[in-house]
Each structure stands twice: as structure tokens, then as C-alpha cells.
């Protein structure tokens, strides 16, 4: 069954895409084809060796070093509170540092943008940096994200309402649409494991969420992996039925990732970014009404869509790159290798700064 999107509602899908797509694809697709192939085939290069970057854990950013005058931040088409609140601009203006923002369809494209020199620092899920490391990107993890009992309610595996698939087990043999190399890739592996299946039991169709949204709503995609705000938009239109969400998924959560050379030269700037992110999370949880207003005005979402998104969202704070978090991320990387998704086993330690650097740039309260 094909359902046409009402003309007075179709704009929701277009606007959440940051329309027109050319706005972010212009940046995101620079060098995209070659690097995407590297993601899939595992073209690799040796990571540079870790070296000591500081002699002490002096906590002021001046002693840590800031060389750049322009900070290029990457964010995804689903929106970014960090950008909307302009907290970095306020903090960095007195230092004479300009902040530029680049939008990407999803995490894998953001990582490609970083490799191409378009982005210094950006936010992605647990999966994109693993694929990027396999492909030879010289990246470093900056800070992680806390998770809580609500985590996972906004990420779903879904079908159109009229679909004959009634339970998650019916997914066997079906075409499943999601962006390869994104957090959905880890989600589907773990979800299939829960019912005794593997990736070989489904037909993977790789397509960014923003590009799959309209096709799914029109009934042209049999199984879709998505998340807010696209999930909430489909709910508003009555065009989605959830088979499984990712509640309980043992993901370590998302990360801010940086280009290694940029990070090494601007440790003081990384410290500022982590501090402002942590402060922003605290502010957002205490001012949820203001966050909702920002989503309406900045992302051009309807109030009822934002209400659904906020009902599934918490701002639980950052998580430092502690040994425990590194171990969790290594487990995810090992799973991708075991499942044959990536061609070689990687060591997350090779994509880290030295422990004394993390101690210097990360608030002690989040190093857990």
C-alpha cells in the first residue's frame, strides 16, 4: 500500500531534513564515494603512535594550548542543541575564536567530512568512529555520553501500519533500511542476536534516515530503523508501527570525536568544549520547556512533534573517557569484527589521547 503524504504535512519531513539537502550534502559529500567504499571494504592505514602531550594536569586551557582561530563543528541533520544555544560562541568570542557549523545527514558522513578536513570536532553514535578507524582516519575520542533508563525509547525498528509483519521475529528475510556504519548498524546486530538471527538473515539496504523518511511514510519501505525526530513525525502522521525499540541495548552511547592533529594542537579548546557540553546538559534538564521552544524555532518542528521527542529524551550529562567506557567501546568494535562487518580487529586505544590528557581536559565529576 502506498500512502501519499498530505501537502500540509509534507513540509515537516522536508524541514527536518534541513532542506534543502544541498545545504548539508555540499559539505558532506566532498570525497564521499571513495571514503564510503573504504568504510565497506576496510581500506586501512596505520594509526600514528601516542605521545605525551602535556607535562602536567594543569587545568587552565591556556597552559594546555589553543592554536586555532576557527573551530569547525559538525552536527547531524536531526538537530543539535549545542549549536542552537550558541554557548560555544559566547565562550570563545573573548578568545578571538570563530565557530563554524557544518551539517551532515548522519554520523558516517560526518566522519567522512572530518577526514576531508571539513570538520574538527563532531558528535556521532558509538559506531561511526569504529568504521572510520578501520578506514584509516586519524581521529581521537573526546568525551562520551551518559545513558539512563529512557535511553533507547527514541530509536526503533518499525514497519508501516498496514504491514503484514506483526512481531520482530517476522523480520527474517525482509529488506531493512538503515544507514550502514551508523548506530543503527550496532542496534540491528544486537536486536537480531536477541532472537537467534544474524545480519545474514535480513537484506540490508543502506540509506540515510533523512532520505528514507518520506519513502517509509508513503509505504515504500518494508522495515525501517529510525529515531527522533523522524520517528515522532511518522507518529504524527499515523504512519509507523514499532516492532522493537533499543531499550536495554548495551551500547556505550555517543561521543564527540576530533581530528587527532587538531586535538593535539588545541587541548585547551577540547577542555572548553567538554565543560560547555556538560554545563549545557545540566541546563537543558532543568529547562526542558526552553529546550522545546528551541526545537520548534530552530528545527522548524510542530509543537506536538516536539512534545513526543521530549517525552523520550533526557539530558543526563557527559561521560569521560575512563577505562570502563573504553572497555565498553572495545566490546562494540570486537562485535563488528566477529560478525564480519569490519575486515580487521581494531584497538580503541589507538584512537585515544593519553590518560593524563583526559585527566587535564575532563571535569573529574564525569570521569566514571
Query: 2 and 286 in contact (C-beta within 8 Å)?
Result: no
Q: What letter does residue 164 receive in the DSSP assignment?
A: S
Lowest mean pLDDT among 44-48, 57-61, 182-186: 44-48
Q: Is the pLDDT of residue 48 over 50?
A: no
**pLDDT for the residue numbered 181:** 96
Round the average pLDDT of the chain to a whole number and report it: 86
Q: What is the 3-state secondary structure (H, E, C) of 297-366?
A: HHCCCCHHHHHHHHHCCCCCCEECCCHHHHHHHHHHHHHHHHCCCCCCCCCHHHHCCCHHHHHHHCCHHH
For 244-261, what is the mean pLDDT? 93
**Total residue count of the chain as it appears in this document:** 368
Say whether pLDDT at 200 is over 90. Answer: yes
Task: Dump pLDDT digits (tens) for 124-157.
Answer: 999 999 999 999 999 999 999 987 766 678 899 9
User: What is the radius of gyration, based on Cα positions, of the chain?
Assistant: 20
Give me the mean pLDDT over the 54-82 stretch: 76
pTM comes to: 0.84
Amino acid at each position: 500500500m502506498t500512502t501519499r503524504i498530505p501537502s500540509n504535512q509534507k513540509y515537516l519531513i522536508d524541514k527536518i531534513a534541513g532542506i534543502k539537502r544541498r545545504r548539508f550534502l555540499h559539505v558532506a559529500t566532498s570525497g564521499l564515494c571513495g571514503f564510503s567504499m573504504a568504510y565497506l571494504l576496510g581500506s586501512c592505514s596505520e594509526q600514528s603512535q601516542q605521545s605525551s602531550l602535556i607535562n602536567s594536569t594543569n587545568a587552565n586551557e591556556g597552559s594546555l594550548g589553543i592554536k586555532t582561530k576557527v573551530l569547525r563543528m559538525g552536527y547531524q541533520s536531526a538537530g543539535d542543541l549545542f549549536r542552537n544555544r550558541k554557548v560555544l560562541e559566547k565562550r570563545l568570542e573573548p578568545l578571538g575564536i570563530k565557530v563554524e557549523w557544518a551539517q551532515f545527514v548522519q554520523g558516517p558522513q560526518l566522519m567522512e567530512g572530518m577526514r576531508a578536513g571539513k570538520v574538527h570536532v563532531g558528535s556521532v553514535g558509538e559506531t561511526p568512529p569504529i568504521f572510520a578507524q578501520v578506514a584509516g582516519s586519524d581521529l581521537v575520542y573526546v568525551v562520551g555520553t551518559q545513558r539512563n533508563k529512557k535511553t533507547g525509547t527514541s530509536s526503533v525498528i518499525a514497519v508501516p501500519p498496514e504491514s503484514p509483519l506483526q512481531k520482530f521475529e517476522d523480520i527474517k528475510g525482509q529488506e531493512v533500511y538503515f544507514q550502514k556504519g551508523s548506530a543503527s548498524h550496532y542496534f540491528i546486530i544486537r536486536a537480531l542476536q536477541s532472537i537467534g538471527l544474524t545480519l545474514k538473515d535480513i537484506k540490508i539496504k543502506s540509506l540515510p534516515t533523512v532520505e528514507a523518511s518520506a519513502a517509509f511514510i508513503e509505504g515504500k519501505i518494508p522495515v525501517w530503523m529510525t529515531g527522533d525526530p523522524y520517528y515522532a513525525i511518522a507518529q504524527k502522521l499515523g504512519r509507523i508501527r514499532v516492532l522493537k525499540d533499543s531499550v536495554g541495548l548495551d551500547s556505550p552511547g555517543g561521543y564527540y570525536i576530533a581530528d587527532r592533529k587538531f586535538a593535539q594542537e588545541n587541548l585547551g579548546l577540547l577542555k572548553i568544549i567538554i565543560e560547555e557540553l556538560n554545563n549545557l546538559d545540566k541546563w537543558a534538564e532543568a529547562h526542558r520547556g526552553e529546550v522545546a521552544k528551541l526545537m520548534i524555532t530552530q528545527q522548524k518542528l510542530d509543537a506536538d512533534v516536539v512534545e513526543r521527542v521530549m517525552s523520550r529524551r533526557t539530558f543526563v550529562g557527559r561521560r569521560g573517557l575512563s577505562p570502563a567506557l573504553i572497555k565498553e567501546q572495545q566490546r562494540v568494535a570486537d562485535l563488528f569484527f566477529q560478525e564480519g562487518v569490519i575486515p580487521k580487529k581494531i584497538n580503541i586505544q589507538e584512537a585515544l589521547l593519553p590518560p593524563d590528557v583526559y585527566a587535564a581536559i575532563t571535569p573529574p565529576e564525569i570521569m566514571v
